[in-house]
Copies of this chain bind each other. A is one copy, B any other.
């Protein structure tokens, strides 16, 4: 546990701009993964390696420099030519791998792989290799913590460069079932599974995703899998599949919520709500989040239980996401059109049923958390889902959580939430009713259960569990 840590992720916690006098100005990163990881990794003695995002980052990368961001945190950048970044990030990672792991294709029509895909894949391989080479420049014997599907090839590449390295790969997303991973060209799916299996520990948010990985590994030539022990043997190496559900930092989140400016925003939202009940959703505007069916279920709820018309407001906070991808833009437009239609059919001068705000504003979301009576988190599939954990920590109205059975968070929070099948409008509409009409004592009991379950796990545990898992399979005393 004494080893220094080296984290690799596509985006880092920090970027730089060049100031007027040529000095570097820090810019804190945003986005779910970075926020979650920053809380965990910003401890003593850590080096964080990520893609150079700005001109200043590129400058730092070109000089091969390492920047001391704050005591104990060093940042280093991997230089990726812009054209290659588009292929690696937009096309392979976001348009193919994200869709594979979340089952998002309309299989009869998409995807269609062609020579462009091959070209993009080569860029993806190159970027992963550049990360592996940068990691290999680290001295001492660190533990390498490689994050997510963007860097799924890094563990094997790093292993080839540095056979004794201690490597953990962690997937923040689900992992596709074998039948769905087979959609990918053979070369890609083989490289992904072999790439991840280059780690000592292959971490997932929930057992189900790890099982999918093991099943796909089992199908590869020369690989031996022990499903029960979560063990993968190939090329004379051994990797272990383990589950490490991420956690949120309750103290820091509540600190944020308690800031005077957020309290003022929370008050504004409370007065917007008035004496009505408030249903809330907070999400990236993203097809896997199931925003469309969320609206349709709310519509079904209003038409099935008309006594609730005029008595509930649905606040929908959506942060823009990957707007340069057609699939995202189209999906976003469909969502907004449905909300508008529903408002047209049910609303009047005194009441707008759904209030959608497309904005990048984390603080506003935290302020909204304190105000909901019910929070709906109904993704079609989700690695974990942080909103489901953040909401109950901040909420002050003993709000009820409506939670998809297909979110990783369901394993931890399911018994205190109202479970829904995200594809079932009828079940979701009834869950909204049940949430809004729940007797106070049951609300209180469930809210307490949620809050305790979330706090039972901390980001520190998530990290130390991974480090202990590495130590267990590479005992330091063997003296490599």
Interface residues of A in 239-286 (CB under 8 A from B): none
Known: A185-B427, A212-B179, A227-B227. A380 touches B114 (CB 8 A): no
Contacts of A480 in B (CB 8 A): none
CB distance from A469 to the nearest CB of B (A): 24
Find out whether the CB atom of B177 lies under 8 angstroms from the CB atom of A179: yes
A424, CB-defined interface residue at 8 Å: yes
Would you give the shortest CB distance from A302 to chain B, in whole angstroms?
Answer: 14
Q: Are B180 and A179 neighbours in the complex by a CB distance under 8 Å? A: yes
Which residue of chain B has the shortest Cβ distance to A406 in the bound complex?
B182
Contacting residues of chain A (272-305) with chain B, CB-CB under 8 angstroms: 287-288, 290, 292-293, 296, 300
A104 within 8 A of B: yes
Interface residues of A in 409-440 (CB under 8 A from B): 421, 423-427
For chain A residues 99-146, which have a beta carbon within 8 Å of chain B? Answer: 102-109, 111-115, 117-118
Q: Which B residues touch A176, using CB under 8 A?
A: 179
A98 to chain B, nearest CB (A): 12
Residue of B nearest to A293 (CB): B112
Q: Which B residues are CB-close (under 8 A) to A178?
A: 177, 208
Contacts of A380 in B (CB 8 A): 107-108
A31 to B424, CA, bound (A): 33
Look across to chain B and name the residue whose beta carbon is closest to the beta carbon of A174.
Answer: B179
Contact B180 A108 (CB under 8 A): no
Choose among A179, A287, A288 the residue with the greatest number of B CB atoms under 10 Å from its CB.
A179
* Distance A427 CA – B188 CA, assembled complex (angstroms): 13
State whether A108 and B292 are in contact (beta carbons under 8 Å apart), knowing that A113-B425, A421-B113 are contacts in the complex.
Answer: yes
- A42 at interface, CB cutoff 8 A: no
A104→B107 contact, CB < 8 A? yes
Expressed in whole angstroms, the minimum distance between the Cβ of A341 and any Cβ of chain B is 15
A478 to chain B, nearest CB (A): 32
Among A105, A108, A211, A215, residue most surrounded by chain B Cβ atoms (within 10 Å): A108
Given contacts A179-B381, A186-B421, A406-B182, contact A292 B103 (CB under 8 A): no
The proximity string for A residues 173-210 relative to B, scoring 1 for CB distances below 8 Å and 0 otherwise, is: 01011111011111000000000000000000000100
CA distance A183 to B114 in the complex (A): 30
Among residues of B, the one whose C-beta sits closest to the C-beta of A286 is: B108
Q: Does A405 interact with chain B (Cβ within 8 Å)?
A: yes
Are A425 and B114 in contact, CB atoms less than 8 angstroms apart? Answer: yes
Of all chain B residues, the one with the shortest Cβ separation from A115 is B426
In angstroms, Cα B288 to Cα A381, docked, is 23
A364 at the interface (CB under 8 A from B): no
| Alpha-carbon distance A211/B225, docked complex (angstroms) | 15
A331 is an interface residue with CB less than 8 A from chain B? yes
The answer to whether A103 touches B288, judged by C-beta atoms less than 8 angstroms apart, is no
Known: A178-B177, A288-B108. A300 touches B114 (CB 8 A): yes
Bound CA span A212–B179, Å: 9
Distance A108 CA – B379 CA, assembled complex (angstroms): 9
Cα distance A214–B118 when bound, in Å? Answer: 35
Between A111, A112, A381, the greatest number of chain B beta carbons within 10 A of the residue's beta carbon is seen for A112
Listed in ascending order, the chain A residues whose CB lies under 8 Å from chain B are: 102-109, 111-115, 117-118, 174, 176-180, 182-186, 208, 211-212, 215, 227, 287-288, 290, 292-293, 296, 300, 331, 334, 380-381, 405-406, 421, 423-427
Q: List 25 A-B contacts (CB under 8 A).
A: A104-B107, A104-B108, A105-B106, A105-B107, A106-B106, A107-B287, A107-B380, A108-B287, A108-B292, A112-B293, A112-B423, A113-B421, A113-B427, A114-B425, A115-B426, A117-B424, A117-B426, A177-B180, A180-B180, A182-B421, A183-B421, A183-B423, A184-B421, A185-B427, A186-B421
Other A-B pairs, 5, CB within 8 Å; known A114-B425, A184-B423? A107-B380, A108-B292, A112-B425, A118-B426, A185-B423
